[in-house]
Homo-oligomer: A and B are copies of this chain.
Amino acid sequence: MDQKYHQGGFTLPGEAGYEKLTLELAKKWGADVIRDSDGTKLSDEIVEAGYSIYSTICIIRQHNAFAARHPDSQQQSFLCSDPVVATGDTLTIRPMDGYFDEQFELNDTPDAMKYWQVYDRTANVEVPRGQWTYEGGRVTINGCEPWHEYTVSFLCWRIWEEINMYNHTTNSWTSEHLRQLDPRHPEAWAYLQQWLEDWCVANPATNVVRLTSLFYNFVWIFGDSMRNRSRFVDWASYDFTVSPAALDAFEKAYGYALTAEDFINQGKLQVTHMPPTRAKRDYMAFIQAFVAEKAKALVDIIHRHGKQAYVFYDDSWVGMEPYGKHFSSIGFDGLIKCVFSGYECRLCANVDVPTHELRFHPYLFPTGLGGLPTFSEGGNPSRDALQYWRHVRRALLRQPVDRIGLGGYLSLTLPFPDFHDTIENIAVEFRRIRELHAHGAPLTAPVRVAVMHTWGSLRSWTLSGHFHETYMHNLIHINEALSGLPVEVRYISFEDAENGALDEVDVVINAGRAGDAWSGGEAWKSDKLVAALTKFVHEGGAFIGVGEPSAVEGYHTYFRMANVLGIDKDTGARVCHGKWAFDVAQAPFVLSAGALAKVDHLYLTDGKAAVLHAQDGVPQMTLNRFGAGYGVYMSGFNVNADSTRMLLELLLYVRDVKPEDIYLSSHAQVETAYYPADGVLVVANGAEEAVDCIVHTPEGDKAFHLEAMETKIVK
């Protein structure tokens, strides 16, 4: 094996007290960088061993002394009380009831109180301020409508940094609760800059400052009941950026004032999975500009000290949108993304930043996601690593990153020597794939796929957060499948589709639940959008709708693209209408019925669509010729090797691409990538057992035998 594949592009978490192990594994895994992990400090022996050094900083945390002196510099949020029914004309509500009082503290200062609101939720109207009073944690409402429900929307301080709170409550930590500062607070901001300045001086050996991440955590609201501890989690909500100062500044900048209700939204909050209001879009833009400006100032400090600034894209990331318009202006030298899934690799790889690094799983911790053992008794971290690698590898075959790495405590790996070998092999495969890309891009089928949803390119590849947080959405399954397919993928908004983006793609995918951000909701009230897509398909494009695509109330069909799909969902008015009888047709590609959901009330509009799968007499997948193109409907999409293969074959079918054109294998678990510059074919087995298969090539079929999870790289 060429030595060049054994070194470089690898970040190792060093561990003080295990200097020998650190340096041994650095050599075995070919590390060029050693990093600290959260809460650890590298020893001099490691720091001076000649490796580049990453040091982790969470800029807004670990300043409890300052926070104690300046409690008004802490971060805030709006909360809404649980609704309470008035049984008479007076009602008293304790707004904090049901919230975790170690996380939140009422903010009843005058500048906060002006943003409080009381709502009659039954009538859906605000209660005039003169009708309610506040005293000692209680709001008393007078002149209630008896039997209506009321809520209080209020501001509160966030007195426990959420990641610290999570670690405490999950891992029974007992250390001091860490607080978090709001950089919008002028004294806090001055303090943070000076603190970073001092830190850089005090850490001369650090080459890369690894920011985890910036200022505002994703929204995570704890309740006081253990039966509903995690009351709300949204990885892309901006609610934790709120403060009277931010709201006042917004009003000045945008010329209109936001209210608590703009965030509270009847208690539903403004979740990322739903289409945003105009106010939310404006507020996001406002925060993004603020975060970029402040982040740039920090990066400038780091650069002035001759260090690089990498950002870890997680936790306090809010406002720093890697696909937002301000990101590149911050001047980061690298983006580090922890990956469970293929789509997260593509997300990272595509960002406009010099260095792209992946933090692999499993994390070197005793337990992994969901509390199962990894580096503890009963764990099998080597198997875990390979399972994650299976997802990552196929994405890396399509698009490279620059670096990979691990996090956590090396000493925990000692009882698992096979894990050491597995990571060594993965690192070698990573470097070989990276080198292929360096010589030229892999062959891609002439199929340009646009995933179309409300957020467009801002939410390229991700919905919000990791797969296990968003698994209930069909689209994340589709993103994951696409992340390793030999097709071009882009993310467009509905506005993009109306304004020419369709000219540059061959297939449009719209996958979501009616009314959500992924399906599109009210965006489908645009005739221009419907007409543009209808034209697009009629002239040869393909529209793939999944779940409740293009669904909106008010028109002759519920799916606005029913014209193209040949299928629609009845919302009740068609219960008296006859349904077209059909025979299930043989799909012209491999069908994975298990990928589909069971959606009720679907019916064929004009009876012409071919039904490829049905359940209880209801079509669940259809293929409809429309003009020169196709409308394809799937009731759901659950990602696995079979459904991924179905999606690929479907994409090839609607664009008339032959298997040999893209070196398609005969086995769903075996994926391929052909690199024309080197004349190299990579054949990767995703199965946990050996597989024999054929790869169809322009030069004829080739037979392959692959061991479990084997990657074959052949000329």
Q: Is A228 located at the chain interface by the 8 A CB criterion?
A: yes
Considering only CB atoms, which chain B residue lies closest to A514 in the complex? B572
- Complex CA gap A14/B432 in Å reads 93
Q: Is A581 located at the chain interface by the 8 A CB criterion?
A: yes
Query: Which of A227, A272, A535, A627 has the most chain B CB atoms closer than 10 A to its own CB?
Result: A227
User: A536-561: contact bitstring with B at CB < 8 Å (1 yes, 0 no)?
Assistant: 00100000000000000011100000
With A85-B534, A515-B571 as given contacts, are A578 and B146 in contact (CB-CB < 8 Å)? no
Q: Is A577 located at the chain interface by the 8 A CB criterion?
A: yes
- Complex CA gap A506/B223 in Å reads 36
Considering only CB atoms, which chain B residue lies closest to A533 in the complex? B147
- Complex CA gap A269/B578 in Å reads 13
Q: Is A206 located at the chain interface by the 8 A CB criterion?
A: no
Q: Is A234 located at the chain interface by the 8 A CB criterion?
A: yes
Give the contacting residue for A572; candidates B123, B273, B531, B578; CB below 8 A: B273
| Residues in B neighbouring A535, C-beta threshold 8 A | 146-147
Q: Judging by beta carbons under 8 Å apart, are A576 and B233 in contact?
A: yes
Give the contacts of A563-583 with B (CB-CB under 8 A). Answer: 563, 571-582
| Residues in B neighbouring A513, C-beta threshold 8 A | 572
Q: Judging by beta carbons under 8 Å apart, are A228 and B87 in contact?
A: no
Q: Is A607 located at the chain interface by the 8 A CB criterion?
A: yes
A selection of 22 A-B contacts at a CB cut-off of 8 Å is A83-B556, A83-B563, A85-B534, A85-B563, A124-B554, A124-B556, A145-B527, A147-B535, A148-B530, A148-B531, A223-B578, A227-B580, A227-B581, A228-B579, A230-B578, A237-B576, A266-B556, A268-B573, A269-B576, A271-B573, A271-B576, A515-B571
Q: Is A274 located at the chain interface by the 8 A CB criterion?
A: yes
Q: Judging by beta carbons under 8 Å apart, are B581 and A228 in contact?
A: yes
| Residues in B neighbouring A133, C-beta threshold 8 A | none
Give the contacting residue for A555; candidates B124, B274, B627; CB below 8 A: B124
A→B interface (CB under 8 Å) = 82-83, 85, 87, 121-124, 145-149, 151, 223, 225, 227-234, 237, 265-269, 271-274, 472-473, 513-516, 527, 530-532, 534-535, 538, 554-556, 563, 571-582, 606-607, 627
| Residues in B neighbouring A237, C-beta threshold 8 A | 576
Give the contacting residue for A556; candidates B149, B530, B534; CB below 8 A: B149
- Complex CA gap A288/B230 in Å reads 57
Q: How far is the CB of A580 from chain B (nearest CB, A)?
A: 5
Q: 5 closest A-B pairs (Cβ-Cβ)?
A: A268-B573, A147-B531, A266-B556, A147-B534, A234-B576
| Residues in B neighbouring A514, C-beta threshold 8 A | 572
Q: How far is the CB of A123 from chain B (nearest CB, A)?
A: 5
Q: Judging by beta carbons under 8 Å apart, are B122 and A527 in contact?
A: yes
Q: How far is the CB of A614 from chain B (nearest CB, A)?
A: 14
Give the contacting residue for A575; candidates B122, B223, B472; CB below 8 A: B472
Q: Judging by beta carbons under 8 Å apart, are A273 and B576 in contact?
A: yes
Q: Judging by beta carbons under 8 Å apart, are A227 and B606 in contact?
A: no
As for how many copies of this chain the complex holds, the number is: 2
| Residues in B neighbouring A225, C-beta threshold 8 A | 580, 607
| Residues in B neighbouring A580, C-beta threshold 8 A | 225, 227-228
Q: How far is the CB of A389 from chain B (nearest CB, A)?
A: 30
| Residues in B neighbouring A148, C-beta threshold 8 A | 527, 530-531
Q: How far is the CB of A226 from chain B (nearest CB, A)?
A: 8
Considering only CB atoms, which chain B residue lies closest to A518 in the complex? B572
Q: Judging by beta carbons under 8 Å apart, are B582 and A227 in contact?
A: yes
Q: Judging by beta carbons under 8 Å apart, are A122 and B85 in contact?
A: no
| Residues in B neighbouring A269, C-beta threshold 8 A | 573, 576-577
With A268-B573, A273-B575, A472-B575 as given contacts, are A555 and B228 in contact (CB-CB < 8 Å)? no
- Complex CA gap A225/B608 in Å reads 12
- Complex CA gap A266/B123 in Å reads 31
Query: Which of A123, A149, A223, A230 has the most chain B CB atoms closer than 10 A to its own CB?
Result: A149
Give the contacting residue for A151; candidates B122, B472, B556, B575; CB below 8 A: B556
Q: Judging by beta carbons under 8 Å apart, are A527 and B228 in contact?
A: no
With A531-B122, A573-B265 as given contacts, are A228 and B627 in contact (CB-CB < 8 Å)? no
Q: How far is the CB of A107 from chain B (nearest CB, A)?
A: 23
Q: Judging by beta carbons under 8 Å apart, are A87 and B575 in contact?
A: no
Q: Judging by beta carbons under 8 Å apart, are A563 and B273 in contact?
A: no
Q: How far is the CB of A399 from chain B (nearest CB, A)?
A: 29
Considering only CB atoms, which chain B residue lies closest to A85 in the complex? B563
- Complex CA gap A274/B570 in Å reads 12
| Residues in B neighbouring A579, C-beta threshold 8 A | 228
Considering only CB atoms, which chain B residue lies closest to A573 in the complex? B268
Q: Judging by beta carbons under 8 Å apart, are B227 and A147 in contact?
A: no
- Complex CA gap A134/B538 in Å reads 27
| Residues in B neighbouring A271, C-beta threshold 8 A | 573-576
Q: Judging by beta carbons under 8 Å apart, are A228 and B122 in contact?
A: no
Q: How far is the CB of A690 from chain B (nearest CB, A)?
A: 36
With A122-B555, A147-B538 already in contact, 8 other A-B pairs whose C-beta atoms are closer than 8 Å: A145-B527, A147-B530, A148-B531, A227-B580, A271-B576, A273-B573, A273-B575, A472-B575
